[in-house]
Amino acid sequence: GAGVSQSPSNKVTEKGKDVELRCDPISGHTALYWYRQSLGQGLEFLIYFQGNSAPDKSGLPSDRFSAERTGGSVSTLTIQRTQQEDSAVYLCASSSPDRAYYGYTFGSGTRLTVV
């Protein structure tokens, strides 16, 4: 597609429920990243996929968080047993070698609210 697409744009969930967030990167972009941004804060790295390499999961805050990328394209971030501190905007970005030295194109984000 023309841009990075994320869904849903907003998600309200009850504490303890599982949620799935989806990211569809720009076609042909080999690298895909997940970040989260809490209100008024900077971007916190979560996970990074590059081609067929093993993902860099070093930013996942707990084992309740997991992500996969199928067929080198669409990615799903899953949060199990959501907690109130998981409330944030979850941003997906994609990149490629010809994209300004691997600069990111971000999606519009998923705003997650855990009540």
Q: Which of the ranges 12-20, 43-51, 61-69, 71-79 carries the binding residues for other proteins, by CB under 8 A? A: 43-51
Amino acid at 62: S
- Selected from 42, 63, 70, 71, the binder of other proteins by CB under 8 A is 42
Asked if 107 touches other proteins (CB under 8 A), the answer is yes
Candidate segments 9-17, 61-69, 73-81, 98-106, binder of other proteins by CB under 8 A: 98-106
| Structure tokens, 42 | 């900077």
Region from 15-23, 44-52, 64-72, 73-81 binding other proteins, contact rule CB under 8 A: 44-52
**List of residues contacting other proteins (CB under 8 A):** 31, 33, 35, 41-43, 45, 48, 50, 56, 59, 91, 97, 100-109
